[in-house]
Amino acid sequence: MGVPMDVRKAGSLEENRTAADYEAHIAEDTEDVGPGQHLFGEPLEMYLLREPRLAVAFSGGCDSSLLLAAAKLAGCEVRAYLVKTAFQPDFELDDARRVAEALGVPLTVVEADVLAQAEICENQLDRCYRCKRFIFQKVREAAATDGFTVIVDGTNASDDPARRPGFKALAEAGIVSPLRRAGMTKANVRAVLAHLERSFGLEAGALMSAKPSFPCLAVYVPEGEPITQSALDAAQMRGL
């Protein structure tokens, strides 16, 4: 099955792109951005045709939901992997299960004790990078057990490497971000997901097209203060 036209169009955006556009955007990338995250590296449909077996690092948000849907529609053999930690609000896992069920994609939930990771819970300046590295390692281990060697995530073209320490962890783990490489912004992602929801006769929002972005609970613990279960519980009780 080929990639549907709406996903192809949003994923390539080739009509007004020039060689200078590619050079300018790649020049803007920092040294922590690996080849798997280079802007405009490859249209989405080309990537999905080239990689028929994919493990998706899944969060239950709109970006990884689109990636999961596009891979499924392209006929890829795809499985979603969600690493469940104490840093996530409870509803994230519920959302992930709903999306995977709606798409008919198998979901593996990996339970990981992040609170046992001292280098993360010391809550220093590089906490986010260390946490992402830990999570991606768990995804890679679980995916390898199922025979997957290619792992992708939902990082998009609106994500700024200068403000996202996770980019370094992505590069080190060899994870590919097809939406970012295709030049798809957050607005592109939401528009395509909303269209797919209508096309499939799903309720609006079933694929998380309108879901707001939620930071992890750890960001509400002041830097330098140890991250504990009680601190995370307090953040979740406040509705964050």
Q: What is the mean pLDDT of each run of 10 residues along the chain (240 residues)?
A: 49 40 44 73 91 96 95 96 95 95 97 98 95 97 98 93 82 95 94 90 89 90 94 77
- The alpha carbon of residue 13 and the mean position of all alpha carbons in its chain are separated, in whole angstroms, by 21
How confident is the prediction for the chain on average, in pLDDT?
86
Strand-pair partners of 77: 53
- Pairwise CA distance, residues 187 & 16, whole Å: 18
Range of the structural domain that residue 23 is part of: 5-237
The token duo for 239 is 């509705």
pLDDT at 215: 86
Domains contained in the chain, number = 1
- Pairwise CA distance, residues 181 & 185, whole Å: 10
- Pairwise CA distance, residues 214 & 209, whole Å: 14
**205 exposure class (CB count in 10 Å sphere: 0-12, 13-18, 19+):** middle
CATH number (domain holding residue 10): 3.40.50.620
In tens, the pLDDT along 66-114 reads 999 999 999 999 999 999 999 998 899 999 999 999 999 999 999 999 9
| pTM attached to this predicted model | 0.86
